[in-house]
Amino acid sequence: MRYAQLASAKAIVTGVATARGSWLEGPGGGRAPGDPGAYAGQRLGLPADGPRSVAGFGRRLGALFVDWIIAVLIISPTTGHRPFTPGSNSPWTPGVLAAEYVVLVSLIGCTIGMRLFGIGVMRLDGRRVGFPWVVVRTVLLLLVVPAVIYDSDRRGLHDKAAGCVVVRL
């Protein structure tokens, strides 16, 4: 019992109990533990549910999978690689995926896979992401690591660098 009281007092003194969050958020950027009102996108002024709420990881991964399949199906006839055959992967597939992302996200705010899963990319102020920022976001997405490092608002480093967020449509 005494140890629990000391641990609790130390947490309060150091601010851990009230400012715990991702290291990406900086000091005091996290939500209080057990805060029932906290949800992804709250700090960004986005709703908890419905249109314009932050998209979940399942939808994002599903959309990426569909876009990858589309890229494979586009590149296979032109390179002679047989799709979905082990050892027959084309090195051009990521390039086609990048082209799809850059063109479609900059023009309509989502890729084919994103549209199928009901998500899109927008700037934090609600406008469409500009072409140069879509290029930055896509390059970082292809590097994979920035996409898997994310904060409590489900924004990866690639989203933060481009000043955008993936939302439900």
Per-residue pLDDT reduced to its tens digit, 90-112: 889 999 999 999 999 999 999 99
Q: What ranges do the domains of the chain cover? A: 2-38, 57-168
Q: Are 128 and 109 contacting, i.e. CB atoms less than 8 angstroms apart? A: yes
What global pTM score does this model have?
Answer: 0.77
Q: What tens digit of pLDDT does each residue of 133-162 get? A: 999 999 999 999 999 999 999 999 999 999
Q: What tens digit of pLDDT does each residue of 54-101 get? A: 999 999 999 999 999 999 999 988 888 888 778 777 889 999 999 999
